[in-house]
A and B are shown apart, each in its own frame.
Chain A
Amino acid sequence: MARKYREIGKAGWGYTAITSVVGFIYFFPVFWIILTAFKTRTDALAVPPKLFFTPTLENFQSVFFRASITTGTSQATDMGLYFFNSIFIAFTSVGLALIVGTLAAYAFSRYPLKGNDTYLFIILTTRMMPPIVVIIPIFLMFRLSGLAGSYWGIILLYTAFNIPFSVWLVKSFFDELNPEIEDAARMDGATERRVFFNFCIPQILAGLSATFVFGLILTWNEFLFALLLTGVETRTVPVAMARTLGGEVGVDYGLLAAIVTLFLIPIFFVTFLLQNQLLRGVTFGTVKK
């Protein structure tokens, strides 16, 4: 039994069945959240909890349109804007961090500065520190400079948040490349720019996408900074989620579950598409090809 899985071999459909069961048990809380999204308010809080019920799309509808109690007409909520904000802010800042981080990583890998390791250490420390350490001054700084509530404020902050990870990961990918190929290209008269864009970047594309997914997963759900630093116009979905909690009639679990389900879809697809690259990402690129 034990030796079976230690060797990386092939297994058949029987094995798929076993792992699916385990996988599904692990997935169960997510499954329950998705189920809740299709439940009416009574079903969501039924005693005992209901596994079978008549599904309704009401919750998904009320994510975007809420019936006004006084007039009975349906009114558009701002949730569409919040979804746009989340996608725009996360993709822009992770993308920016990747570009800026790749440039820095290339320098750290190919043109070491004096005190290279010290810079790298400081960069890593900024990623490791608890956000609570800087949140007070950032809050004050944003308030004074007028960055609070603007797209640029939160995007720059998230970019900074993602740079350390990008630099470290991408540097490890550059380090793995064989510099002889680059030297050969230089001998043939390729400019530095060509070496970078035509020889180095294409070879680490997989690594770059891993870095992207990883940054995205970590940024997608950020709550604390978003709570303090976004305004009505720039609010992200996690903050909007938290705001649905404070109702007078208690938490509307169906509505919240619908938001969670919708919010899961984009990140799920990106991760699914880039799954193989993600494996390389978590190890800081220490897995050899």
Chain B
Amino acid sequence: MANTANSRGGFGAWLLDPKRRGALLVTPALVILFVMNIFPLMWSFGLSFFNYKASSLKVPKFRGLSNYERVLTDDKVWERFQTTAIIVGSSVIVQLIIGFLLALMFAKAFPMRRIVLMLVLTPMMLSFVSVGVFFKLFYEPTFGIVSYVLNFFTEDHFVMLGSPAGAIAGIVIADAWMWSPFVMLLVLAGLVSVPKYLYEAAEIDRASAWRRFWTITFPYIRSLLLLAVLFRTIETFKLFDIVYIITEGGPGSSTETIAVFLYRNAFQFFKTSQSSALAYIVLFIVIVLTNLYLYAVNRRAEEVS
């Protein structure tokens, strides 16, 4: 208040003091983040202690930790976490393998590389909705191209999404196809950063290709691979759209990931408070993963410098 009493120039001068330059530059970003992310986050933290339902007008009652207790003792929740872990685990492994192979292929300079690379990068630019809908069509037993091709090899009519294992595979294929290019970009960056003289030295030492890979290439891409694993794990953890469109969580609840489960509870059954509590448990897991991620980034930064 004292500052507003000064002339406008006085306040401006106070604000633009070099001591405050850092704080001033950071403020807009922090304000937007606070309003759009941190404040809602605190709000839902508050909600998680009440028995609030977004669909009813009743005044919510304070319930303490009972929402957390209910969520953590619910067998369904543990099942959903297991499903999520299976889908995340297998999808990330597939992405790593395919991304790695693609990166090896593109590490070389060749004519029209820019254009060929675009072929591989395109899946990343599609929307989840369209990938979901068209992969569902590809898997369709009568019209689908996957079933059509597979029917040459099997006697039975092939129904991809009919069994839990098939449905999980269907989701993993779609997700891994979309995001392997991302892993490829990361690994490619690692491969490109290996100093050439190391290979020349290995040439003189007549090191075998296998040995060269483990002693020269791998150390340079190791932390980038870790980075890829963590980043993709965190992202796949949020997987919602593809699952929702391809299988809607079925058959039964065999592909219902934690994100789909949360969405259902929050917006179909309007268990607002209970889903806030579960959301917080998810957030806790993400924070742990973020810490690991930062550790990977810092290690990478140290190795490079």
Q: B-contacting residues of A (Cβ < 8 Å)?
A: 2-13, 15-16, 19-20, 22-24, 26-27, 29-30, 32-33, 36, 45-49, 100-101, 103-104, 106-108, 110-113, 119, 121-126, 128-141, 156-157, 159-161, 163-164, 167, 172, 192, 217, 220-221, 223-224, 237-238, 241-242, 245, 251, 253, 256-257, 260, 263-264, 267-268, 271-272, 275, 278-280, 282-284, 286-288
B155 nearest CB across to chain A (Å): 17
A6 x B32 contact (CB < 8 A): no
In the bound assembly, the distance between CA atoms of A278 and B108 in angstroms comes to 17
A30 nearest CB across to chain B (Å): 5
A256 x B133 contact (CB < 8 A): yes
In the bound assembly, the distance between CA atoms of A136 and B137 in angstroms comes to 32
B148 x A48 contact (CB < 8 A): yes
In the bound assembly, the distance between CA atoms of A216 and B102 in angstroms comes to 23
B213 x A6 contact (CB < 8 A): yes
Give the chain A neighbours of B287 by CB distance below 8 A.
125, 128
CB contact under 8 A between A100 and B28, given known A11-B108, A19-B116: yes
Give the chain B neighbours of A137 by CB distance below 8 A.
39-41, 43-44, 47
Number of A-B contacts (CB under 8 A): 310
The answer, among B54, B129, B213, for a CB contact under 8 Å with A241, is B129
Interface size on B, residues (CB 8 A): 107
CB contact under 8 A between A29 and B134, given known A6-B217, A287-B192: yes
B218 nearest CB across to chain A (Å): 10
In the bound assembly, the distance between CA atoms of A183 and B186 in angstroms comes to 34
Instruction: Across the interface, name the chain A residue whose C-beta is closest to B207.
Output: A3
Task: Let me know if B81 is at the binding interface, CB within 8 A.
Answer: no
Which residues from 227 to 267 on chain B have a C-beta closer than 8 Å to any C-beta of chain A?
Answer: 227, 234, 237-238, 240-241, 259, 262-263, 266
CB contact under 8 A between A49 and B28, given known A8-B192, A138-B36: no
Q: What 10 new A-B contacts, CB under 8 Å, besides A20-B119, A49-B143, A49-B145?
A: A12-B110, A107-B22, A125-B287, A125-B290, A160-B35, A220-B127, A241-B130, A260-B134, A272-B114, A282-B185
Give the chain A neighbours of B272 by CB distance below 8 A.
136
Task: Let me know if B158 is at the binding interface, CB within 8 A.
Answer: no
B107 x A163 contact (CB < 8 A): no
The answer, among B123, B237, B290, for a CB contact under 8 Å with A29, is B123
Give the chain A neighbours of B18 by CB distance below 8 A.
192
B159 nearest CB across to chain A (Å): 15
Q: What are 15 contact pairs spanning A and B, CB under 8 A?
A: A8-B192, A22-B102, A32-B134, A33-B134, A104-B30, A123-B29, A129-B41, A133-B283, A134-B37, A134-B44, A136-B276, A137-B44, A137-B47, A268-B118, A283-B300
Which residues from 1 to 54 on chain B have a C-beta closer than 8 Å to any C-beta of chain A?
Answer: 18, 21-26, 28-30, 32-33, 35-41, 43-44, 47, 54
Instruction: Across the interface, name the chain A residue whose C-beta is closest to B301.
Output: A286
In the bound assembly, the distance between CA atoms of A271 and B191 in angstroms comes to 21
The answer, among B106, B111, B283, for a CB contact under 8 Å with A129, is B283
Give the chain A neighbours of B263 by CB distance below 8 A.
132
B138 nearest CB across to chain A (Å): 7
CB contact under 8 A between A282 and B116, given known A29-B134, A49-B145: no
A121 x B121 contact (CB < 8 A): no
Which residues from 164 to 217 on chain B have a C-beta closer than 8 Å to any C-beta of chain A?
Answer: 177, 182, 185-186, 188-194, 196, 199, 209-210, 212-213, 217
B129 x A286 contact (CB < 8 A): no
Give the chain A neighbours of B282 by CB distance below 8 A.
129-130, 132-133
A130 x B259 contact (CB < 8 A): yes
Which residues from 126 to 165 on chain B have a C-beta closer than 8 Å to any C-beta of chain A?
Answer: 126-130, 133-135, 137-138, 142-145, 148
